Amino acid sequence: MKIRAFRIGFVGALGVLLALLLGNIVGELGTVILYVALALFLALGLDPIVTWLQRRDMPRGLAILFVFVIVIGLFVGLISLIVPIVIQQTTNIITDWDEIVERVLNSDFVGWLNSLTGTGTAIEDTIVSAGDWLADPDNLGSLGGGILAVGAGILGGFTGAVIVLILTLYFLASLDSLKRYAARFVPRSSRGAYREVSEEITGSVGRYVIGQVSLGAINGILSLVYLSIIGAPQPILLAFIAFLASLVPLVGTITGAVIISLVSLAASPATALAAAIYYLIYMQVEAYVLSPRIMSRAVSVPGALVVIAAVAGATLGGVLGALVAIPVAASLVIIMDKVVFPRQDAM
């Protein structure tokens, strides 16, 4: 048998080049793929609400329209509530910068930090150094570029949110047809079992989304009430941060608590301490009372797998990756229980 080395090498080289090309295409389309995955994730989360409305004799089209109007209303309401606060606070910081610095320098907290250093002027020296850095035109130029980058990122995030909302509406309207189309890739003899497993997976993902949003809403509302009582700066904005942070599993609540406690230092060290104590208590209540009750019907994933999935998801896809990782892990557990293990037991 004659071996055609050139042909084999040429075909192999073409295969490598094609793989590199496909990898490059996937890398370039990473943002689009992320938008599609997030939109499908949200559609699965909203589908149980649509199904619940259908059971009460509401047509599916009207139920989708009703749910989506509420979602868009909440999105627009949050944007209209948060953006003016951010603009106002930024303007106040620029206008009252000298007064803010003076108040910080004369605070008891700064005095306590100075006493720890032993020199008595460490904090003042740091602030002076920061002022000298800001006075350098080159540094101001780099800072301006960073601000422009942040502005571009905010604009890109808003555009991405609009794209995700549109895709979510499309997926929600065509979810049943997408399931039927996907079932055609499975042999006819296995379609019944496939539909059963797929319905269990999509239901699990939907319940997880609703449960996580419920935990975030509870954290946001309680934070708004408590932060308003203790006099924290801008409790509405901080409560919104608490809500967003709670959407991220495992580390979200503690990250939000740290941010809010640090921001509360602008009011007073006592306010920051009160916020920190509150969130330490709340995290225990959430972990042992709220989360088990709300998420008991959503996903059934071993604790170690939850940690591994969240860390892996955050490494691969950042915050959104961590958010999606747990329902993906739950889906894999369902597939193992319903498909792989029964086949292994039958052998």
What's the mean pLDDT in 236-263? 83
The per-residue pLDDT for range 28-86, each reduced to its tens digit, is 776 777 778 778 878 887 888 888 888 888 888 888 888 888 888 877 777 777 777 76
Of residues 95 and 164, which shows the higher confidence score? 164
Q: What is the pLDDT of residue 149?
A: 46
CA 273 vs CA 228, 237, 246, 267, 283: distances in Å: 15, 19, 20, 11, 15
Of residues 283 and 314, which shows the higher confidence score? 283
Whole-model pTM: value is 0.67
Q: What is the pLDDT of residue 277?
A: 92
Percent of the chain with pLDDT over 90: 4
- The alpha carbon dihedral of 111, 113, 119, 121 has a sign of negative
Q: How confident is the model at residue 136 (pLDDT cuts 50, 70, 90)?
A: low
Minimum mean pLDDT among 87-96, 143-152, 311-320: which range?
143-152
Q: How confident is the model at residue 15 (pLDDT cuts 50, 70, 90)?
A: confident
Which of 85-91's residues contact partners 24+ apart within 8 Å by CB, and which partners? Answer: 85/234, 85/236, 85/237, 86/237, 89/234, 89/237
Q: What is the pLDDT of residue 302?
A: 63
What's the mean pLDDT in 317-334? 71
- Helix %, strand %, coil % for the chain, to 5? 90, 0, 10
pLDDT exceeds cutoff 80 at 20:
yes
The per-residue pLDDT for range 110-119, each reduced to its tens digit, is 666 666 665 5
**DSSP classification of residue 248:** S
CA 275 vs CA 58, 234, 283: distances in Å: 44, 13, 12
Distance CA 119, CA 115 (A): 7
Of residues 256 and 104, which shows the higher confidence score? 256
Residues near 38 by beta carbon (within 8 Å), at least 6 away in sequence = 164, 320, 324
What's the mean pLDDT in 155-164? 71
Mean residue pLDDT across the chain: 74
pLDDT exceeds cutoff 50 at 270:
yes
Of residues 303 and 251, which shows the higher confidence score? 251
Q: What is the pLDDT of residue 152?
A: 47
**DSSP classification of residue 337:** I
Q: Where are the domains of the chain?
A: 30-185, 204-347
Q: How confident is the model at residue 146 (pLDDT cuts 50, 70, 90)?
A: very low
Q: What is the pLDDT of residue 222?
A: 92
pLDDT exceeds cutoff 50 at 150:
no
Percent of the chain with pLDDT over 70: 69
Q: How far is CA 120 from the centre of its chain?
A: 42
Q: How confident is the model at residue 279 (pLDDT cuts 50, 70, 90)?
A: very high
Distance CA 175, CA 181 (A): 10
